[in-house]
Structure 1
Amino acid sequence: MTMSSAALTSRLFEPARLGPLHLPNRLVMAPLTRNRASADGVPTPLMATYYAQRASAGLIIAEATTPNAVGQTYPDIPAIYSDEHVAGWRRVTGAVRAAGGTMFLQLQHGGRIGHPETSGLTPLAPSPVAFPDPIHTPAGSRPGVVPRAMTVGEIRGTVADFAAAARRAVDAGFEGVEVHGGNGYLIHQFLSGVTNQRGDAYGGSATGRIRFAVEVVEAVADAIGPERVGLRIAPGVTANAMREHDVERVYPELVGALAGKGLAYLHVVFADPAQPLFHRIRRAWPSVLITNPALPWPAPFPADGGRQEAERLLAAGADLVSLGRAFLANPDLVERFRRGAPLNPVRPEYWYGGGELGYTDYPVLGRHPVAV
C-alpha cells in the first residue's frame, strides 16, 4: 500500500463528532505545559500564535490552567480565575477560531505540586504528604514542601473554583473544558491511597477516594453543560512521583460513577490496548473516548511521531487520539501525516519557558510558520 492510499484509508483523517461539535479529523493536540504565560498567569500574544499555528488538529486541548491561586504548579503557567485571564485567553481562542480550529481548556489544580515561592501560598492536598522531588520555582529548584491537608470546607471551595473556572473558560471562547484528573496533580492525589490518607468521606475506600473527582466533574458539568466537559485520567501513571496500588478497582468505579452524566469525553493517558483495564474502560464508557498512546518517555521519541500507536488505539476502540510532542514540533502535523512527510525533530531544551525559540519557530511544509 502506498503512503497516499494509506492516508486515504486511515481513520485518523475521518471526521468525528464530539457532542455538538463536528471535528475534521481524529487527531487531538494534547495539553502541553510550556510556561509562556505572564508571571500573573495571563496568556500572551505569543501563545495565540502558537495555538493558531496548530489549528488543523481536530481538537486542541489547551495547556494546564489553574482555577485558583493556590492551585498554581510552576512559574508562568496560565490561569483562569480573573477577568485579565479571560481577556488573555479570548485572544488565543479568537486566533484559533479564525484559523479554523476548535479548543477546549484543561483545568488543573496542582495540589502538593506547588510551592510558596511560586504562588505565595502553602500548597493544599488531600493529606500532608510532601512531593518527594525538587520543584521548579522562580528562584530555582527547591525541595517539595509538606502541603496542608484540605478541610472539607476547602474541598467544597475548590469544587466551586473549578466550576467558576469552567464558566470563565466558556466566556473566554473555549468550546469546553477538560478536568485534569491525572499525572500526579490534585485530583489524582485524591484517587491514590498513597497520597490520600484521609479518614473522612473523601478517603479510605475507592468510593471515598473518587468522591472529589466526581464532585468536581459534576459541578463543572452543572456550570457549563455536560456536553462541554471532558475528564482526563492516568491509571497507574507514575508521573510526578505518583504511586497507586488498586487501579483495577478505582478507575472502573470512577468511570462507572460518571458514565451516565452525558459528558463529552473521557481522556485516558498512556493508554495501552494490551492491558485489560483499557478494554474495561472502553466497555464502560458510553461516549467519546480519547486516548493518549503509551510512547517512550522521556526518550527516545518515535520517528513517526506516534502515528503507528495512534492507529493501533483507534483500531482497539478509541474515538480520538491525542499527541503531544508531535504537535509541539510540527504545527502542520495533520498534513505531514497525510503526506507521509518527515517530522521536525523535537527540541526539549526549549519546552519550558522562553520566547519564540522552540515554540513558534518550527517550520511547516514548504514555508516558515505563520504568525498572528
Structure 2
Amino acid sequence: MPSLFDPITLGAVDAPNRILMAPLTRGRADRDAVPSDMMVEYYTQRASAGLIISEATGISREGLGWPFAPGLWTDAQVAAWKPVTDSVHAAGGRIIAQLWHMGRQGHSSVYETQPVSSSATKTEGQAHTFEGKKDFEVARPLELNEIPRLLNDYELATKNALAAGFDGVQIHAANGYLIDQFLRDNANSRTDEYGGSIENRIRLLREVAERVISVAGADRTSVRLSPNGDSQGVDDSNPEPLFTAAAKALSDLGIAFLELREPGPDGTFGKTDVPKLSPAIRKVFTGVLVVNSDYDTPEKAQAELDTGIADAISFGRPFIANPDLPKRLRDGAPLAKDDAKTWYSQGPEGYIDYPALQTADT
C-alpha cells in the first residue's frame, strides 16, 4: 500500500505526497469578496501540501453568504487571487479553487437578496453576517428557468479560477450547501426534474460538473461530497443509494478526484453515528478517492490508506496551526494547536503567525 509521503497523480496535477490541504473558510477577504494580501502569505506557507484545496470561494454574490469570504465572479477578485497562486507555485506548490454556492446557509444581509435553495426550507440556528449572528431565513426555491443562470455562474467562476492561475477547481457539493440541498431528500421537496427520484436529485450535480468540465477539463475538475449523516440540517433518509449513484455519475465523467468528508461519532464538526459510505463509494468510483475528517495523526491517516479505500487524505484543522504539516507528520513531530477564536477574525493573528517547525522553538 502507498504511504502518505508517496506521490500521486490527481488528474492533471502531479502531487508529491498524499497529504492534501482541505478547504478551510478563514474570512480574510474584504466585504466585496476580494482576497487580501495576507492570503498570499497564508497559502504560500502551506505550499508543501500535496495539493491545496482553497477555502470555499463564492461563484456569485447570490451564492456567497459568508462574511469576508473570497469570490471568483469579478475582475478584482481574479486579480487579487493571482498573487496567491503565483506565490504558491513559486514555492513549489499546487492549488485548486473550491467553487461555492451556499444556498440557504447564508443571510440576506450578506447575499443582498433572499437565500435560494432547492425548496422553501430554513436552516435551524443562526448565520454569520457582517453584523454578527442572525437567525437563518426561509429560502426561496430556485425556479427552473434560473438553473441555466446558475450553471453560467459556475462556468464563469471556473474560467476566472483558471485565469487567476489555479491548477483546477473543486465543486463544493457537500456540507449542506446548495448542491447538497438538491441531493438530499429532507431539503428537496421538488416535484420537477430536479426532485423526487435519486436520478432527478443528482441532476444538478451532474449538470454543474459537466459545465465545469467543459471549461477546465475533467482532469482539472474535482468534487467534494459529505455522504454520511446530517450536515448543517441537510440529511437523507437513504444515503447509500443516493451517494453511490452520485459517485458513479462523477466516475463516468472522469473527474480528477472525489473528496469525501465523513465525520464519525467523535467528529469535531458534524458528528454522526451514520457509518462511512466510502467503502460503498469505492466500489463504483474508479478514480482517485480522497477522504477527510478528523485525521489528526499520521497513524490514523496511514491506516485509512492501508484499507485500500482511500488514495489520499485531506487534512483540515491541522493545517491551520501547522503550515508545514507534511514535514511534521514525516518527522513524527508534535502538532501545534489552533485557536478557534481566530478562525474567522479577519486579522493576521491565528492566520499567518503560526511558525514552521524549524522556528517553532526560537
Match of 1:251 in 2: 243
Identity of aligned residues (%): 40
Shift of 1:236: 2.4
Q: Point out the more displaced range, 46-55 or 158-167.
A: 158-167
The one-letter code matched in structure 2 to 1:225 is: G
Q: Which residue of 1 aligns with 2:319?
A: 327
Instruction: Verify: 1:34 aligned to 2:26, yes or no.
Output: yes
Q: Does 1:77 align with 2:56?
A: no
After superposition, the Cα gap between the structure-2 partners of 1:91 and 1:227, relative to the gap in structure 1 and judged at 3 Å, is same
SS at match of 1:64: strand
For the 8 Å contact 2:170–2:222, the answer to whether it is kept is yes
Amino acid at match of 1:326: P
1:19-58 alignment runs, 5 A limit: 19-58=11-50
What is the 5 A alignment of 1:135-214?
A: 135-214=127-206
Query: How many Å apart are 1:10 and its aligned residue?
Result: 7.0
Using structure 2 for the length normalisation, give the TM-score. 0.93
- 1:241-269, Cα deviation, whole Å (9 max, x unpaired): 22221101101111112212121011111
Check conservation: 1:271, 1:291, Cα contact below 8 A: no
- Residues 1:316 and 2:307 aligned together: yes
The residue that corresponds to 2:111 in the other structure is: 119
d(CA) in 2 for partners of 1:32, 1:276: 22
1:73 shift after superposition:
2.1
Deviations 1:138-177 (A, max 9, x none): 1221111111110012122111211111111011000100
Q: Unaligned regions of 5+ residues in structure 2, if any? A: 265-273
Q: What residue number does 2:211 align with?
A: 219
Aligned-pair distance for 1:20? 2.6
1:74-133 superposed Cα distances (whole Å, 9 cap, x missing partner): 110000001111011111101111111000110010000121111211111110101111
Residue pair 2:45, 2:324 contacting (<8 A) in 1 also:
yes
Query: Structure 1 residue 351 and structure 2 residue 315: aligned?
Result: no
- 2:298 aligned residue: 307
| Equivalenced residues, count | 351
- 1: CA distance between counterparts of 2:119 and 2:250? 25
CA distance in 1, matches of 2:147, 2:103: 11
Deviation string, structure 1 residues 304-326 (Cα, Å, up to 9, x no partner):
x2323211221122111100011
The answer to whether the 8 Å contact 1:104/1:176 transfers is: yes
- What SS class does the counterpart of residue 125 from structure 2 fall into? coil
- Say what the alpha-carbon RMSD is for the aligned residues: 1.7
Deviation at 1:368, TM superposition (A): 6.2
Contact 1:111–1:185 (CA under 8 A) maintained in structure 2? yes
Measure the CA separation in 2 of the matches of 1:251 and 1:239. 14
2:53 counterpart letter in structure 1: I
SS for the counterpart of 2:128 is: strand
Alpha-carbon contact 1:235-1:247 (below 8 Å) kept: yes
Q: CA deviation at 1:275?
A: 4.4
Counterpart of 2:62 in 1: which secondary structure? helix
Unaligned stretches of 5+ residues in structure 1: 1-8, 296-301
Aligned-pair distance for 1:328?
0.8
Which residue in the other structure is 1:286 paired with?
286
Q: For 1:254, what is the secondary structure of its paired residue?
A: helix
Q: After the TM superposition, which of the residue ranges 137-146 and 179-188 deviates more from structure 2? A: 137-146
Secondary structure, counterpart of 1:106 in structure 2:
strand
The answer on 1:12 being equivalent to 2:11 is no
The ranges of structure 1 where at least 4 consecutive aligned residues each deviate by more than 6 angstroms after the TM superposition are: none
Structure 2 distance, partners of 1:20, 1:329, is 29
- Rounded Cα–Cα distance in structure 2 between residues aligned with 1:276 and 1:138: 36
Q: CA deviation at 1:271?
A: 6.5
Query: What letter corresponds to residue 280 of structure 2 in structure 1?
Result: R
For residue 5 of structure 1, what is the aligned residue in structure 2? none
Q: Which moved more, 1:353-362 or 1:47-56?
A: 353-362
User: Which residue does 2:268 correspond to in 1?
Assistant: none
Task: Show the counterpart of 2:222.
Answer: 230
- Partner of 1:57, secondary structure, is coil
- Distance in 1 between the 2:4 and 2:347 partners? 32
Query: Cα distance 1:56–1:70, how it changes in 2: closer, same or farther (>3 A)?
Result: same
The residue that corresponds to 1:6 in the other structure is none
3-state SS of paired residue (1:87): helix
8 Å contact from structure 2 (residues 260, 290) kept in 1: yes
1:237 CA displacement = 3.7
Structure 2 counterpart SS, 1:291: strand
| 8 Å Cα contact 1:306-1:323 kept in structure 2 | no
Change in Cα spacing, 1:52 to 1:285, as seen in structure 2 (3 Å) is same
CA distance in 1, matches of 2:120, 2:318: 37
My pick for the range that moved more, 126-135 or 235-244, is 235-244
TM-score (norm 1): 0.91
Whether the 8 Å CA contact 2:171–2:221 is kept in 1: the answer is: yes
Q: Is the aligned partner of 1:132 residue 2:132?
A: no
Deviation string 1:40-65 (CA, Å, 9 cap, x unpaired) is 00111101100000000000000000
8 A Cα contact 2:228 2:262, kept in partner? no
| Partner of residue 3, structure 1 | none
Q: Give the partner amino acid of 2:303.
A: R
What secondary structure does 1:251 align onto? helix
